């Protein structure tokens, strides 16, 4: 059975993430979406909230081939724990590639048995980034074109809790 992991912070999960998840699920027998922390990012949602959000959004996608778990370890250790032979990463722009290329090289040094596979985001979804979705929402902008309706409600509710910027 071919298993891949698709790691990310998913804060929040976007339509771009969902595109990569759907497409990656067709390449493997089992896709594990790994929800993690990133010390360089300031999350809007807790790991638990993001885990629930990703589980809800991926429910029913790809006939149950998708699992969603949280992890707080090296990606390669997580991949081994899940029995993965592949890491899936989404690319939007050249800047993404430079970072991901370096990470893939480091990961290969840590475990040469696990391949990194890059999937280009759908052209219509390439500009979408969680960071930008949060920024737009914090300034009162409409985010419905970038996330599902349920995620949009969740983000708007969180913005109402923490307060909008520029008001």
1-48 pLDDT per residue, tens: 999 999 999 999 999 999 999 999 999 999 999 999 877 778 999 999
| CA angle (23 as vertex; 153, 59 as ends), nearest 5 | 45
Non-local (6+) Cβ contacts of 38 within 8 A are 9
Examine residue 147 and state whether it is found in any structural domain, yes or no: no
Examine residue 100 and state whether it is found in any structural domain, yes or no: yes
Dist. CA 91–CA 113, nearest whole Å: 22
The average pLDDT across 54-79 equals 95
Examine residue 42 and state whether it is found in any structural domain, yes or no: yes
Examine residue 136 and state whether it is found in any structural domain, yes or no: no
Examine residue 71 and state whether it is found in any structural domain, yes or no: yes
Range of the domain at 98: 3-124
Examine residue 111 and state whether it is found in any structural domain, yes or no: yes
Question: What's the structural domain count of the chain?
Answer: 1
Residues 122-143 pLDDT 10s = 989 988 999 999 999 999 999 9
Dist. CA 93–CA 73, nearest whole Å: 27
Examine residue 102 and state whether it is found in any structural domain, yes or no: yes
Q: Is 162 helix (H, G, I), strand (E, B) or coil?
A: helix
Examine residue 157 and state whether it is found in any structural domain, yes or no: no
End-to-end CA distance of the chain: 53
> Active-site residues: which are they?
17, 41, 92, 130
pTM metric for this prediction: 0.94
CATH of the domain at 20: 3.40.50.620
């Amino acid at each position: 059975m071919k298993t891949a992991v698709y790691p990310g912070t998913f804060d929040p999960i976007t339509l771009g993430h969902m595109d990569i998840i759907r497409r990656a699920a067709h390449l493997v027998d089992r896709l594990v979406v790994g929800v993690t922390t990133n010390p360089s990012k300031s999350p809007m949602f807790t790991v638990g909230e993001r885990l629930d959000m990703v589980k809800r959004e991926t429910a029913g996608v790809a006939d149950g081939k998708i699992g969603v778990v949280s992890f707080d370890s090296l990606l390669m250790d997580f991949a081994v724990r899940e029995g993965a032979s592949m890491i899936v990463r989404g690319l939007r722009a050249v800047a993404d590639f430079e970072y991901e290329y370096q990470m893939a090289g480091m990961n290969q040094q840590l475990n040469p048995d696990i391949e990194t596979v890059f999937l280009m985001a759908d052209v219509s979804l390439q500009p979408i980034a969680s960071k930008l979705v949060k920024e737009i929402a914090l300034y009162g902008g409409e985010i419905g074109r970038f996330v599902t309706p349920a995620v949009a409600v969740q983000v708007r509710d969180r913005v109402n809790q923490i307060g909008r910027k520029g008001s």
